[in-house]
Amino acid sequence: MRPRILTAVAATLTTLGVTTASLLVAPVTAVADSDVDAKKGRFTRVAVAPAFYQKLQNNRITPSPTDPASLFVYEGTPAFRFPIVEASNNDARLEHVGGIKFARGDTYATIKAFTIKARQGKVSAKIVISGERPFRDNVFLIRKSNRPRLGDVRLVLNRASANGLNFVFDTNNFDAYENVGFASVVRRSAGGGR
């Protein structure tokens, strides 16, 4: 079953402009039910904003999931699925496993182990830049969604994240408050859920 899933996702991503070479850098994996929160069967889906995805491509930056996150196509755009491992304060705080690796050649920035802090309107993550010592910081701000079909909220770069991407990838193309994607908490359905 796994090869069929990979083939279908690879074909869809190729039509979106993702090359086979980038799929080798950004492996697409299916999420097993055991990878999601065993108690609640939930994950956070982040559909990448099409304009942000295009900007990554223009800068030859490949986003790929880190285990146990996965990449798939949702509503015609690449999307990531991050398993929720802890929920507290009536879901105002959600902790996740997995992450995203942004890479161009040997240069990379990985953000993982996201914590959504809804009351503060922020998302923090563990950050690793090209093998440097990891650190934790806020990476996204949470805003109201202008595309509810893609997600309940928008995630936008904060100033530090925009500056960090520009520094790591030697560019000035990323801006503070730029829309990165649309997020929703989703319950895993018997049919696999999205």
pLDDT tens, 24-37?
Answer: 233 333 334 334 44
Judge whether 12 and 6 are in contact, CB under 8 Å: no
Domain that holds residue 136: 2-187
Q: What is the DSSP letter of 160?
A: H
Number of structural domains found in the chain:
1
60 in a structural domain: yes
Average pLDDT over residues 126-138: 93
31 in a structural domain: yes
Judge whether 24 and 176 are in contact, CB under 8 Å: no
125 in a structural domain: yes
The model carries a pTM of 0.76
Judge whether 79 and 47 are in contact, CB under 8 Å: yes
SS3 of residue 110 by DSSP: strand
194 in a structural domain: no
193 in a structural domain: no
pLDDT tens digits, one per residue of 76-119:
999 999 999 999 998 899 999 999 999 999 999 999 999 999 99
Q: Tell me the pLDDT of the chain averaged across its residues.
A: 82
The predicted pLDDT at position 119 comes to: 94
> CA-CA distances (angstroms) from residue 69 to 80, 97, 153?
7, 7, 19
163 in a structural domain: yes
192 in a structural domain: no
pLDDT confidence band for 190 (50 / 70 / 90): very low
151 in a structural domain: yes
